[in-house]
């Protein structure tokens, strides 16, 4: 390699290093990174995340069970499965009261 090629490679390496450093500074300045730096704010963030997960799970399960009960209510007309589903629906309705 000639001296000019080495200098060009070093200049390219230097410019890439500077751009990586600038990107890392942007990432470190991000709010999420600052949240993970502090223990109290990290705990609060995780608490809110847990509440959102729990609420989403309950709402999702409610929708799934409601759709399942509706479908089972429509299937109770079938001869063999119908009696078992009718008994299941009676149990569910008695528990709601």
pLDDT tens, the chain, 97 aa long: 677 777 788 888 888 999 999 888 887 777 666 667 777 878 888 899 999 999 999 999 999 988 887 887 776 566 666 677 778 888 888 877 5
Check residue 52 and give its pLDDT: 96
DSSP reduced 3-state for 5 = helix
Give me the phi and psi of 17, to 5 degrees please.
-65, -40
CA distance 23 to 25: 5
Q: What is the DSSP string of 19-85?
A: HHHHHHHHHHTSHHHHHHHSHHHHHHHHHHHHHHHHHHHHHHHHHHHHHHHHHHHHHTTSHHHHHHH
């Amino acid at each position: 390699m000639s001296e000019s090629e080495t200098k060009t490679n070093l200049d390219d390496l230097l410019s890439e290093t500077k751009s990586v450093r600038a990107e890392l500074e942007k990432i470190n300045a991000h709010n999420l990174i600052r949240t993970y730096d502090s223990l109290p704010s990290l705990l609060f963030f995780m608490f809110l995340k847990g509440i959102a997960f729990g609420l989403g799970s309950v709402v999702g399960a409610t929708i799934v069970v409601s759709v399942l009960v509706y479908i089972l209510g429509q299937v109770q007309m079938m001869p063999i499965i119908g009696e078992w589903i009718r008994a299941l629906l009676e149990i569910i309705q008695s528990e709601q009261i």
